[in-house]
A and B are shown apart, each in its own frame.
Chain A
Amino acid sequence: MLSVKNLHATVDGKEILRGIDLEVKPGEVHAIMGPNGSGKSTLASVLAGNEKFTVTDGSVEFLGRDLLSLSIEERARLGLFLGFQYPVEIPGVTMANFMKQAVNEQRLFRGEEPLTAAEFLRMMRERSAVVELDPKLTARAVNEGFSGGEKKKNEIFQMAMLAPRLAILDETDSGLDIDALRIVATGVTKLHTAENATVVITHYQRLLDYIVPDVVHVLYKGRIIHTGDKTLALKLEKEGYDWLINDCRE
């Protein structure tokens, strides 16, 4: 589904990604861990097409398409979803209106008729239940005045609405209390099928108690320095990254 080869990317001339290789197959859950500043969020941004970053080398194939040649919105419509670490506010634009446009844009791309208002409202009601999002929030402006927890729930709600093939969740667990973490993580698991894949970027093992990864990668200084199964996350939790980093220096 996703095949990243030797990906290099810079921001303001500074190289952040220095040769990433990553293979994600349908039905898989990958976790990307690593110390601060290792390039995790950059990887997510670059895959989504954020124009702040410049890809200097490498290739990315997504569902048989050359991902890097596509615009941000084309990637999204094709089924790539980014759960933002810091969701932005859009004053005056209701969540409902925002999602209606997004959902219909995707339907248009697939050659489907736009949803009627009634169909859309029903869909919104069903999907907001996945993350126990207060339905009242959909009448409020996008992320405006949302608490940290609500913002993260709202990201997963949007994921539920758009049913992506590949979801990249950038530190969806940061700033969540135990209950919110459980709700958000359970929501992600509910949305998981054999056809789609999830890449979870996180600092903490606790998220992976709910979203059990098939593969765990450690990103350090713009490279994946180690890959293992879910036990790797537990080991990292206990021992930190030093043993890997030292390893890497040798």
Chain B
Amino acid sequence: MAENEKELLDDLGGQEYKYGFTTQIETETIRKGLDEQIVRLISAKKGEPEWMTERRVKAYRHWLTLTPPTWAHLAIPEIDFQEIIYYAAPKQQRRLDSMDEVDPELKRTFDRLGIPLEEQMALAGVAVDAVMDSVSVKTTFRETLAEKGIVFCSISEALRDYPELVKKYLGSVVPYTDNFYAALNAAVFSDGSFCYIPKGVRCPMELSTYFRINAAGTGQFERTLIVADEGAYVSYLEGCTAPRRDENQLHAAVVEIVVERDAEVKYSTVQNWYPGDREGRGGIYNFVTKRGLCRENARLSWTQVETGSAITWKYPSCVLAGDNAVGEFYSVAMTNHFQQADTGTKMIHIGRNTRSRIVSKGISAGRSENSYRGLVRVGKGAANARNYSQCDSLLIGDRCGAHTFPVADVRNASAVVEHEATTSKISDDQLFYCRQRGLSTEDAVGLIVNGYAREVLAKLPMEFAVEAQKLLALSLEGSVG
């Protein structure tokens, strides 16, 4: 290993997680552990209709028959599901009518996270639903959206105010039988966001959900459901942070997206859960199921920037059911220290002339393990299906791992499936060149990494792209003097 690369590795060590604070808010939690009673209790806490309670119980019973998946390239310590608290909510007496009524400490938390919940939002044109621990705290801009018939609220509110919509779509893309963590989520999900864009409506602003785990010993199991009705359009953003803790916390979310005929959904995530410290202690286990269903001429685009979490297990997927549907997946996954990520996508081509595009950029540093796992399936009826996949890996240092597990399962002879993959390192020559122009090693690495990820970052909405660039540089930042 070249001298400056050794130095570089040392430099990378000093990364500080700036969202690692805890907010002193009174939290209401229930006893830890999981049984049918807990499942019913969560449902009761949320004042859910009977059918919802029964769905949860059904999911719980199914979950009992399952075991955690082991096929990923991840070393996951055994999780004791009885040691987790499945419901924690900032204590609030009643529903709030204006921002002034929100707990000032809570407001401060969101300010520190850089989420402008108030008037700035109008300028930014972003409507935010902030989920702290398990409960949705405040949804901004609901009235503006309501004029267009757009529903954007917490999933608990949706269950109360739009039960028919929820009943119709919840679990329709990711059924509780899908996998171990999806079943768990279906049983104990506490809150999340719901979004419905009516026929032919173009959502005039970016919709955004910010998730934060605050309380100790809790898991977060949010559920997001987005429905874009025929010809509708929405761009949706999701951000996540958590305090630094020595323990591992479980985050098992489910995101379901229904993209009806001629509709389009863009879903962007900047995932920055606490990654653990440099020795690999603590950090979030991010085990997430995300999937969208595309009808005729529909388009779904996933963009993710994954820098956080101790372990990431996540494959945002597209089921291209209708003819001419288009699925896209743009991903930057960065791991450092002892982080592990096994992430990628599934593109399931069912309709004719369906197209998909996958661009995955992995960045591994420290002793981390970073895997891309992808499945492109072309069904018998998917005539003229097209897929293009590009999977690049960038290695920093020689103690990390980058792996690619692409699978193509093509059952229609008229399909064209292309796959390209590259693995590269930041070269000493590149670093020397940048430093000769006056950049520090750290800035040079940040610049090169951002350049490498540019194609994906360019897919993010503007404000998010800037945030993501900083985040990438920050995650590699060290203590160079």
Contacts and interface: CB of A to CB of B under 8 A. Distances in A.
Contacts of B455: 92
Nearest to B441: A73
Contacts of B430: 88, 90
B427 A73 contact: no
A126 interface: no
A92 B428 CA distance: 18
Interface string A80-102: 01101001101111000111011
A162 interface: yes
B3 A102 contact: no
Contact of A101 (B427, B439, B453, B454): B439
Count chain A CB atoms within 10 A of each CB in B435, B440, B453 and give the residue with the most. B435
Interface stretch (B268-276, B443-451, B459-467): B443-451
A147 to B, nearest CB: 18
Contact of B447 (A50, A77, A93): A93
A88 B451 CA distance: 14
A51 B2 contact: yes
Interface residues of B, number: 26
B453 A158 contact: no
B434 interface: yes
Count chain B CB atoms within 10 A of each CB in A48, A49, A72, A99 and give the residue with the most. A72
A71 interface: yes
B438 A90 contact: no
B429 interface: yes
A169 B352 CA distance: 59
A159 to B, nearest CB: 10
A50 B452 CA distance: 24
B162 interface: no
A125 B448 CA distance: 24
A88 B3 contact: no
A86 to B, nearest CB: 8
A142 B2 CA distance: 24
A92 B454 contact: yes
A218 interface: no
Given A52-B428, A88-B430, A92-B454, A76 B447 contact: no
Nearest to A99: B437
Given A90-B448, A93-B450, A162 B435 contact: no
A1 interface: no
A105 B441 CA distance: 12
Interface in B107-133: none
Interface residues of A, number: 31
B447 A101 contact: yes
B437 A141 contact: no
A73 B440 contact: yes
Contacts, number: 78
Contacts of B441: 73
A92 to B, nearest CB: 3
A200 B144 CA distance: 66
Nearest to B424: A91
B452 A105 contact: no
B81 interface: no
Given A50-B432, A90-B433, A102 B427 contact: no
B414 interface: no
B423 interface: no
A53 B454 CA distance: 33
B450 A51 contact: no
B435 A88 contact: no
B450 A72 contact: no
B432 A72 contact: yes
Contacts of A106: 438
Contact of B433 (A52, A81, A88): A88
B3 A92 contact: no
A91 B451 contact: yes
A101 B436 contact: no
B433 A84 contact: yes
A81 B433 CA distance: 11
B455 to A, nearest CB: 7
Interface string A60-83: 000000000001110011000110
Contact of B437 (A52, A71, A76): A76
B451 A87 contact: no
Contacts of B428: 51-52
Contacts of B4: 51
A90 B447 contact: yes
Contacts of B453: 92
A85 to B, nearest CB: 12
A74 B450 CA distance: 23
Given A51-B3, A90-B448, A141-B451, A71 B433 contact: no
- The 3 lowest CB-CB distance pairs between A and B, nearest first, are A92-B451, A93-B451, A92-B454
30 contacts: A48-B436, A49-B436, A50-B432, A51-B2, A51-B3, A52-B2, A52-B428, A72-B435, A73-B439, A76-B435, A77-B438, A88-B429, A88-B430, A90-B430, A90-B433, A90-B451, A91-B451, A91-B452, A92-B453, A93-B451, A98-B437, A101-B443, A102-B437, A102-B439, A105-B437, A105-B439, A109-B438, A141-B451, A142-B451, A162-B438
Given A73-B438, A76-B435, A102-B437, 17 more contacts: A48-B432, A50-B432, A51-B428, A72-B432, A73-B441, A84-B436, A88-B427, A90-B430, A92-B454, A93-B447, A93-B448, A98-B437, A98-B447, A101-B447, A102-B439, A105-B440, A106-B438
